[in-house]
Amino acid sequence: MLKQYRLRDYKFRLVLWVTMLSVIGILVIGSADGSLQNKQIAGLVGGLVLMIIVSLVDYVWLLKFYWIFYLAGLGLLIAVIFMGVSANNATRWLNIGGIQMQPSDLMKIFLLLFFAQFFSKHEDDLSSFKTIIKAVVIVAVPAFLILKQPNLSTCILTLLVFCATYFVAGLSYKVIAGILLVGAPLIAILVGIVLRPGQTLIENYQLVRILAWLYPEQYPDEARQQLNSIIAIGSGQLYGKGLENTAVNSVKNANLLSEAQTDFIFAVVGEELGFLGCCVIIILEILIVLECIWIGRNAREFSGTVLCCGMGALIGIQSIMNICVATGLMPNTGLPLPFVSSGLTSLMTLFIGIGLVLNVGLQVKKY
């Protein structure tokens, strides 16, 4: 389980990027909702400790229990159905010993562990019909449970990360081309069905979010969140209005930003730290993703490559989705910005994922 590692192989650069981003997140959260700042600080400290512990545990040993991780994640998602805590017309949380957690966040890490081992075992037949069907069924079960919470955005994120991980594992380009040829028309048909009155594929509030994004003038109340977010980002201009400012023309100070500490934290960054602050956040997210990919490319084991690149895909795709929502480039999804948004479950699970990547980096190739 534990091995002798060399300190010089520890990827301190990755630790620096995630710590810097998390510290900026703490500062911005303090400005958005001061009552959550101390909790986020505790989350950062606990996350760093957890990251270090996980980074010293042999990931190859952990991957032996990949089915246990998968079944444990399914168990938590099923528990949400019977014992979940509800809020805002959704049941996504579990209260365990006074600690509220979101199992879907943990399931994303468990799926990365599972498919790192699964694709490693099927390295020679990744593109076979049997393996593809088996992999799709395995990811479809938790995705369906997440969708029924309802949590469409996390379901989509889970499926996108799965696709990216499968691509990295080496899925044949012929298979990819075939999937695109069949999938593109199907997606167009699904979109057409979803936009029809009386459809039952998605919840009504999810449909309204899509329509508000497409036709904001027809749904002014529902579109207000994103419109205010865009105004806030633009009002910050180059340098921003400053953290915890008292400007009367501040969108955040006027309480016009819904979920400013989580879903729309990027709007607070734009308003208070300006264009430069937004660039710093984006650059740090990109650096973390690139570092994960770089470590994965140099992994000793094929499973390490899949695990690291999958983690990079998770952080990258989730960052893109959050920022696109804040800037009005896609419908409101409700996903947090990695390492920046408030939320202990999200932060802690991300640090667990980074710990796994660091362990892959510690096990250098033997030439």
Residue 332: inside a domain? yes
Say how many domains are in the chain: 1
> What percent of the chain is predicted at pLDDT more than 70?
98
Question: Residue 44 corresponds to which amino acid?
Answer: L
Read off φ and ψ for residue 85, nearest 5 degrees. -95, 130
Q: Is the dihedral of CA 156, 160, 165, 166 positive or negative?
A: positive
pTM score = 0.94
Of the candidates 292, 353, 357, which has an alpha carbon nearest to the alpha carbon of residue 47? Answer: 353
Does 13 fall in a domain?
A: no
Is residue 6 domain-resident?
A: no
The token duo for 169 is 């594992």
According to the model, what pLDDT value does residue 354 have?
98
Q: Return d(Cα 129, Cα 122) in angstroms, integer.
A: 12
Domain span at residue 286 reads 20-362
Q: Write the pLDDT tens digit of every residue in 149-204.
A: 888 899 999 999 999 999 999 999 888 888 888 878 888 888 787 777 777 777 77
- Would you say residue 170 lies in a domain? yes
Crossing angle of helices 103-121/152-169, nearest 10°?
A: 20
Structural tokens at position 203: 């919840």
pLDDT interval class at 1 (50, 70, 90)? low
In a domain, 347, yes or no: yes
Q: CA–CA distance from 367 to each of 121, 202, 264, 300 (Å)?
A: 23, 52, 47, 10
Q: Which residues pair with 99 in a beta bridge?
A: 96
**Residue 4: inside a domain:** no
Residue 12 lies in a domain: no
Does any domain span residue 3?
A: no
